[in-house]
Amino acid sequence: MSGIVFYIDPSDEVPVYRQLMDQIRLHVTTGELSPNDELPSTRALSTELGVNPMTVSKAYSLLERDGMVTRRPGRPHVIASTSTAQVAQDRDTLLRASLEPAARLARQLDMNPAEALALFEHMLANGDDKSPRRHTQDTER
């Protein structure tokens, strides 16, 4: 059975269908979901989350496009047998994509690479705590 639980925040700026995709991908990387595991039906999950089945369907469809899940007409989706490979490749691709804007910014600002790396290293280590010594002023957006 799939006792997977999803948490979504409708008020988040990240659209629901993407929150879902992210969580499913994450569950695969952590091994909570394995190849051939069934995903919740669109209706069941949509009810649980309080959204429309199409929203769930959209997430599933996009994941299928990425080769992460497999579609079976009339039957629930399952985690693709190739998902593991997908994830491995994704880890790199995803991180690179995520890092790209930062790298561009750093270069644009002509920052010292060592300094930038040090900052990133620090953030990797203790991600939750606020910062080393810096007043963070912003009520940004």
Partner DNA sequence: CTCGCTGTATTACCGAACTAATACACTAGG
Partner DNA sequence: CCTAGTGTATTAGTTCGGTAATACAGCGAG
Footprint on residues 18-77 left by a second copy (CB under 8 A):
26, 29-30
* 109 near a second copy, judged by CB under 8 A: yes
* 10 near a second copy, judged by CB under 8 A: no
Q: Is residue 7 within 8 Å of residue 50, measured between CB atoms?
A: no
DSSP 70: E
Distance from C-alpha of 45 to C-alpha of 29, rounded to nearest angstrom: 21
Paired tokens of 11: 């008020």
* 104 near a second copy, judged by CB under 8 A: yes
Q: Which residues bind DNA (CB under 7 A)?
A: 10, 15-18, 39-44, 50-55, 57-58, 60-61, 64, 71-77
* 11 near a second copy, judged by CB under 8 A: no
Q: Is residue 40 within 8 Å of residue 24, measured between CB atoms?
A: no
Q: Say which entry of a second copy, DNA, none residue 119 contacts (CB below 5 to 8 A, set by partner kind).
A: a second copy
DSSP 75: E
